[in-house]
Amino acid sequence: MPVEELVHKSSFDFSDRSYTICIYRRADGFTAMTEFSPEDMIINDGGDIQSLLEKHRRLLPLAIISRQMRPEKDK
């Protein structure tokens, strides 16, 4: 199992809610993660923290809106 180290944690406010962004350092780069529920999360990979954080913040609204659009039975 790869070792991951938390190197950044911040909040992203969208649609009257706050979402936590965690960035982990791994042997092969960095991973950004936002958890919507224990079974539902968005994960992005990148080579450096700054560009990864920008990418994750750019894609996060799309992930949030798509989850808001799902019918109740899929949530």
| 21: in domain | yes
Q: Which of 35, 39, 13 is nearest to 24 (CA)?
A: 35
At 14, the pLDDT band (50, 70, 90 cuts) reads very high
pLDDT (tens digit per residue) in 29-48: 999 999 999 999 999 999 99
Number of structural domains (the chain) is: 1
Local structure of 39: helix, strand or coil: coil
| 33: in domain | yes
| 45: in domain | yes
At 3, the pLDDT band (50, 70, 90 cuts) reads confident
Eight-state DSSP code of residue 57: H
The model's pTM: 0.85
pLDDT at 2 > cutoff 80: no
| 75: in domain | no
| 28: in domain | yes
What is the percent of the chain with per-residue pLDDT over 70, rounded to a whole number? 92
Residue 27: count other Cβ atoms within 10 Å of its Cβ.
Answer: 7
Q: Domain range spanning residue 12? A: 5-70
Local structure of 45: helix, strand or coil: strand
